[in-house]
């Protein structure tokens, strides 16, 4: 493999070295984004899978954080991975113009963000490049060792992000005769065998990731703004340099099977997520893999496309200058104040310590935000916890049992609403948070209402009888009569982004003692809303401050007119 890099020209090595050093500096200077803190939290509890995604990003963070217990440690593996990615991209491009390659690379938003952010796209991009390196060799010569290597890397891709499936499908569509190679089926077998632990994990956890991404995540009714949001996000990600790459791709002809695969990957990712945007929200970064073949093909083709070559240089210089200045700013001590890119960029240690001081030694629970719970854990030095209200989609905290150690203890519940200034924590650059002391912590989220129906249809204004099973997955004997007096059962209705206040509901059969792992039949008389539409309903016990936690999955409810 080292021999593979031997003919890379000196300017690329110098550029890569500078990129690596600057990436390390930026990784050390910037506060974690709350999503990174969440992945760090996952790395503390290693497993074969997690609620939102596979575990590879947790592996990256686990290795780096073992060396440095700070922001640099969280991002440590991402920086060399992105730097090695530069060398692989250059070799795959076979360009004769290092200058064109560097201009393209510096002119894209994605390459700048990918150098230091510890997010699942980082291992996905790295292993995609390794996969493409092996795939090009495999197309030239059908070697058993290369086929096995492809299978191992394919598994690493799936452990990075499920989006790898789009990559595999694009490759097969581009060159379907691969299916005729016996060694290709060995590749598939190796990949599947290595991925089995994650598949087992999914079944052990009731296919939680599948349910989240394909059922729970999209509770809103689709409208044209979802598609326009996707298109706008892609235009921003591409930027002027990316648009030049798209034009170059259209003007060029594929000269080999490998080029056809690269073209198919671009079309596959942008096309697949365009179709997905017809169903629901798509994040802009989900097409990140498509930028790799764009860089590879653009670096090779643009030097031979006179008009595009003339346009590229000034365009890339302007874009690169803006992006480099932006990176310098966000790594500076002045970043974050008044800047709201989902979350502030700076000041998280002050924020976390202010909440810790307000909690006065009590365990801290955040309502409906796994990011803030994770960020608090990283910067306060104390474990933060998460409470999932009835309208919440769910996250990994619900699968962990870390909160069992604070069972029965006084705690505080933190969320972003309130009027009492004595409970408010305000840090410059951050939204005010309110800290509400509570007497004793008891969670009954593992007392579950399960229903055979995953979707229902009913006439507006009517009532229906909903039958199910109550299962006690806690480790305690529970007196349901006492429990439902202390914590009334409520039902929640959600319609296209609008949630109605939860209402108390009578549970028929919820009485007597229920032992651990015991179940009993229950039923509810559910009042159907008067307004037609696509609803989601859920049941839960009151937790604190009149807010229920969820004790059932969402049930889809289609309400029709008479």
In-domain check, residue 338: no
In-domain check, residue 212: no
Using the 3D structure, point to which of 418, 438, 458 is the last residue of a domain: 438
Exposure b/e, 393-432, CB count within 10 A at least 16 = b: bbbbbbebeebeebeeeebbbbbeebeeeebebebebbee
Read off the tokens for 158: 């799936």
Read off the tokens for 550: 């969820």
Range with the lowest mean pLDDT among 108-117, 206-215, 337-346? 337-346
Read off the tokens for 20: 């690596």
In-domain check, residue 288: yes
Supply φ then ψ for residue 490, to 5 degrees.
-130, 155
Domain with 54 in it = 2-203+219-330
β-pair type (411-415, 364-367):
parallel
- Model pLDDT, residue 5: 74
403/460 same-domain check? no
| Count of domains for the chain | 3
- Model pLDDT, residue 86: 95
9/78 same-domain check? yes
Are 359 and 382 in contact by the 8 Å Cβ rule? The answer is no
Q: How far apart are CA 157 and CA 289, in angstroms?
A: 11
CA atoms within a 13 Å half-sphere pointing along the CA-CB vector of 433: 27
In-domain check, residue 336: no
186/95 same-domain check? yes
Interval 542-557: pLDDT, tens: 988 888 888 898 888 8
Interval 157-200: pLDDT, tens: 999 999 999 999 999 999 999 999 999 999 999 999 999 999 99
- Model pLDDT, residue 351: 94
55/131 same-domain check? yes
Read off the tokens for 380: 């306060």
Closest to 74 in 3D by CA, of 401, 291, 374? 374
Interval 435-453: pLDDT, tens: 999 988 988 888 999 999 8
Output the pTM of the full model: 0.91
Does pLDDT of 561 surpass 90? no
Q: How far apart are CA 388 and CA 373, in angstroms?
A: 12
Does pLDDT of 39 surpass 80? yes
Read off the tokens for 463: 């009532």
- Model pLDDT, residue 339: 42
In-domain check, residue 340: no
Tell me how far CA of residue 505 lies from CA of 5, 435, 521, 523, in angstroms: 67, 29, 16, 11
- Model pLDDT, residue 392: 79
Kindly report the CATH number assigned to the domain that includes residue 519: 2.60.40.10
Q: How far apart are CA 171 and CA 165, in angstroms?
A: 10
**CA dihedral for 465, 471, 474, 479, sign (positive or negative):** positive
142/42 same-domain check? yes
Q: How far apart are CA 495 and CA 534, in angstroms?
A: 6
Interval 469-494: pLDDT, tens: 999 998 889 999 999 999 999 998 88
In-domain check, residue 335: no
Are 264 and 173 in contact by the 8 Å Cβ rule? The answer is yes
In-domain check, residue 199: yes
Interval 264-310: pLDDT, tens: 999 999 999 999 888 878 888 899 999 999 999 999 999 999 899 99
64/14 same-domain check? yes
122/30 same-domain check? yes
432/455 same-domain check? no
Using the 3D structure, point to which of 438, 458, 482 is the last residue of a domain: 438
226/287 same-domain check? yes
Exposure b/e, 221-247, CB count within 10 A at least 16 = b: eeeeebbeebeebbeebbbbbbebbeb
- Model pLDDT, residue 338: 41
Q: How far apart are CA 191 and CA 143, in angstroms?
A: 17
63/162 same-domain check? yes
Are 92 and 76 in contact by the 8 Å Cβ rule? The answer is no
359/493 same-domain check? no
CA angle 458, 451, 385 (to 5 degrees): 115
**501: DSSP letter:** P
Interval 62-93: pLDDT, tens: 999 999 999 999 999 999 999 999 999 999 99
Element (H, E) at 193: helix 182-204
Are 61 and 43 in contact by the 8 Å Cβ rule? The answer is yes
Residue linked to tokens 């890569």: 16
- Model pLDDT, residue 222: 65
Read off the tokens for 502: 């939860």
Burial class (CB in 10 A: 0-12, 13-18, 19+), 142: middle
Are 410 and 73 in contact by the 8 Å Cβ rule? The answer is no
Interval 517-543: pLDDT, tens: 999 999 999 998 888 888 888 899 998
Q: How far apart are CA 366 and CA 373, in angstroms?
A: 6
**256: DSSP letter:** S
Question: 1 pLDDT band (50/70/90 cuts)?
Answer: low
- Model pLDDT, residue 99: 94
Interval 122-153: pLDDT, tens: 999 999 999 999 999 999 999 999 999 999 99
In-domain check, residue 209: no
Q: How far apart are CA 182 and CA 274, in angstroms?
A: 34
Average pLDDT value over all residues in the chain: 90
Interval 299-333: pLDDT, tens: 999 999 989 999 999 999 999 999 999 888 888 87
Closest to 120 in 3D by CA, of 171, 27, 49? 49
Are 166 and 289 in contact by the 8 Å Cβ rule? The answer is yes
Element (H, E) at 550: none
535/402 same-domain check? no
Percent of the chain at pLDDT above 70? Answer: 96
User: What is the Cα gyration radius of the chain?
Assistant: 26
């Amino acid at each position: 493999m080292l021999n593979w890099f031997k003919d890379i020209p000196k300017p690329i090595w110098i550029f890569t070295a500078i990129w690596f050093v600057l990436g390390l500096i930026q990784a050390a200077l910037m506060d974690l984004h709350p999503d990174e803190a969440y992945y760090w939290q996952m790395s503390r509890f290693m497993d074969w899978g997690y609620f939102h995604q596979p575990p590879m990003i947790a592996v990256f963070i686990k290795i780096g954080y073992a060396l440095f217990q700070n922001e640099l440690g969280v991002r440590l593996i991402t920086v060399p991975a992105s730097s090695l990615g530069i060398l692989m991209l250059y070799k795959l491009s076979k360009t004769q113009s290092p200058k064109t390659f560097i201009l393209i690379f510096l002119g894209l938003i994605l390459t700048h963000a990918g150098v230091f952010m510890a997010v699942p796209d980082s291992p996905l991009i790295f292993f995609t490049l390794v996969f493409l390196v092996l795939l090009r060799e495999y197309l030239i010569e059908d070697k058993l060792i290369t086929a096995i290597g492809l299978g191992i890397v394919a598994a690493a891709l799936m452990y990075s992000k499920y989006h790898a499936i789009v990559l595999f499908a694009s490759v097969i569509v581009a060159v379907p005769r691969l299916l005729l190679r016996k060694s290709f089926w060995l590749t598939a077998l190796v990949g599947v065998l290595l991925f089995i632990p994650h598949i087992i994990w999914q079944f052990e956890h009731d296919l939680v990731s599948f349910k989240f991404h394909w059922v729970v995540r999209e509770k809103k009714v689709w409208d044209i703004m979802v598609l326009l949001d996707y298109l706008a996000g892609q235009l921003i990600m591409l930027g002027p340099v990316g648009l030049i790459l798209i034009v170059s791709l259209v003007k060029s002809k594929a000269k080999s099977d490998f080029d056809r695969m690269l073209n198919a990957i671009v079309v596959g990712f942008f096309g697949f997520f365009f179709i997905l945007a017809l169903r629901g929200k798509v994040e802009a970064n989900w097409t990140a893999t498509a930028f790799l073949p764009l860089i590879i093909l653009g670096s090779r083709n643009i030097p031979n496309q006179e008009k595009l070559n003339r346009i590229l240089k000034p365009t890339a210089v302007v874009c690169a200058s803006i992006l480099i200045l932006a990176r310098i700013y966000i790594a500076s001590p002045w970043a974050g104040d008044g800047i709201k890119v989902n979350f502030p960029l700076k000041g998280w240690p002050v924020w976390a310590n202010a909440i810790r001081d307000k909690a006065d030694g009590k365990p801290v629970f955040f309502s409906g935000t796994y990011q803030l719970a994770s960020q608090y854990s990283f910067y306060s030095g104390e474990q933060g916890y998460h409470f999932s209200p009835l309208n919440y989609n769910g996250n990994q905290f619900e699968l962990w049992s870390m909160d069992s150690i604070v069972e029965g203890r006084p705690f505080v519940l933190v969320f972003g609403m309130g009027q009492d200034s004595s409970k408010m924590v305000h840090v410059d650059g951050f939204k005010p948070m309110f800290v509400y002391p509570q007497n004793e912590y008891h969670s009954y989220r593992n007392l579950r209402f399960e229903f055979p129906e995953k979707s229902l249809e009913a006439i507006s204004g009517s009532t229906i009888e909903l039958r199910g099973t109550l299962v006690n997955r806690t480790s305690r004997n529970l007196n349901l009569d006492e429990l439902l007096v202390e914590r009334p059962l409520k039902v929640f209705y959600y319609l296209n982004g609008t949630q109605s206040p939860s209402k108390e509901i009578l549970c028929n059969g919820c009485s007597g003692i229920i032992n651990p792992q015991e179940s009993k039949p229950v039923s509810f008389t559910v009042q159907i809303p008067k307004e037609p539409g696509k609803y989601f309903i859920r049941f839960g016990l009151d937790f604190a401050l009149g807010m229920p936690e969820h004790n059932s999955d969402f049930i889809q409810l289609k309400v029709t007119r008479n």
